[in-house]
Structure 1
Amino acid sequence: MKILATNIGEKQDIDWKGKTVTTAIFKHPTNSPVFIDDEQVKEDTICDWKHHGGIDQAVYAYSYKHYDFWKKKYPDLKWDYGMFGENLTIDDLDETQTNVGDTYKVGEVILEVTKPRQPCMKLGVRFNNMKIVKEFWQENYSGVYFKVLQKGFVKTGDELKLLKKAPNTKTIAEVYAAKRSSK
């Protein structure tokens, strides 16, 4: 698996239907390596530490192969890497083959899979349509959160290499489906 883009975002106050929403979901690709620290990607703003960042959600990765599915549903949007608020856009990250506890090396960093992303209303703000939140829940295209076992730099073009497959753990797709059915 290859890193197609490293993405960061800045804090923005968005007027959403007469209310101010503070978010950093509007990520954009960087031209230089990013430093992945224990609880976040440096230079990436986190506005809601309760739901983003921290030990078990330090890095969010999303598969570029899922973009085509969403582009068909939202063809009028301006599409670029980071569209789902991900820090790492990966060419082919498959939630049905990625297990909780799997360990990967990418660039100087070692990452461990922790959980799927759960969509929130800020994804709706990003897509300018709250319908995406429900649609996101209905698909197994959640993306993957990682915790950081070894800090360091990652850049576009780096390979995400499996170091260790976690035995007897659920896939991200299975965890996501269980959360979906309990909603």
Structure 2
Amino acid sequence: MYIESTNLGEKREINWKGKIVTTGIFKFPVNEPLFLDVEEVKNDVICNREHHGGVDQAVYAYSIKHYDYFKQLYPDLDWEFGMFGENLTLSTLEETEVHVGDTYKVGETILEVTKPRQPCMKLGVRFNDMKVVKQFWNSTKSGVYFKVLQAGNVKKGDQFELLSSDKTQPTIADIYTKKRKEKS
């Protein structure tokens, strides 16, 4: 598993059905390394600190392989890495195999898996279609939030080297499925 793309976003105000929505979900690839800090990715905009950023959600990663699934559902979108609001687009990431607490060495950093992303309406704003929120929920393609144990730079091409894993811990998909059932 390696970094396919590093992505940053800027603050945007969108008129969504007559209501102004402020968001940082519009992320796009950048060519420079990202500095992953303890509570955030430097130079990335977080508009809602209640649900984004912080120690347990400092970095969001999403798999390039999941893009294929959603491209079939939304073939007319202008697809770029960062579409799901991720800071890191990874070559492969399988939520059914990644456990809470798994730690990785990536570039200058050490990252720990914390939890899945729970989609909100801003994903629908990004896709210009609220159906994507339910489709996202009904998959296990949630992506992964990481805690930054050692801050530093990461760049495109950096490998994820697994340092430790406890297979007795739940997978990200297990947690995501449980959350989905609780919301139903």
The TM-score, its normalising length taken from structure 1, stands at 0.99
Query: What is the 5 A alignment of 1:54-73?
Result: 54-73=54-73
C-alpha contact (below 8 Å) 1:103/1:166 kept by paired residues: no
- Partner Cα separation in structure 2 for residue 98 and residue 150 of structure 1: 20
Q: Which residue of 1 aligns with 2:101?
A: 101
1:43-77 superposed Cα distances (whole Å, 9 cap, x missing partner): 00000000000000000000000000000000010
Look up the match of 1:158: 158
Give the C-alpha shift of residue 167 in structure 1: 4.1
State the SS of the aligned residue for 1:29. Answer: strand
Q: Is the 8 A contact 1:16 1:125 kept in 2?
A: yes
Give the aligned partner of residue 178 of structure 2: 178
User: Which sections of structure 1, spanning at least 5 residues, go unmatched?
Assistant: none
SS state at 1:153 partner: strand
Identical positions, percent: 65
1:9 matches 2:6:
no
Residue number in structure 1 paired with 2:124: 124
How far apart, in 2, do the equivalents of 1:28 and 1:43 lie?
12
Q: Which residue of 1 aligns with 2:53?
A: 53
2:23 corresponds to which letter in structure 1? T
Deviation at 1:138, TM superposition (A): 0.2
CA separation in 2, counterparts of 1:34 and 1:176? Answer: 27
CA distance in 1, matches of 2:75, 2:49: 31
Cα drift, residue 166 of structure 1 = 2.2
The SS at the match of 1:177 is helix
Backbone CA RMSD of aligned residues: 0.5
Aligned residues: 183
Mapped pair 1:144 → 2:155: no
Alignment-mate amino acid for residue 145 of structure 1: Y
* One-letter code aligned to 1:122: K
Cα distance between partner residues in 2 of 1:99 and 1:66: 18
**Following superposition, which runs of at least 4 residues in structure 1 exceed 4 angstroms of deviation?**
none
TM-score (norm 2): 0.99
Partner SS, residue 161 of structure 1: strand
Deviation at 1:161, TM superposition (A): 1.1
- Which AA in structure 1 matches 2:81? Y
CA distance in 2, matches of 1:145, 1:2: 16
CA contact (8 A) 1:8 1:87 kept: yes
Q: Which residue identity lines up with residue 158 of structure 1 in the other structure?
A: D
Give secondary structure in 1 for the equivalent of 2:105: strand
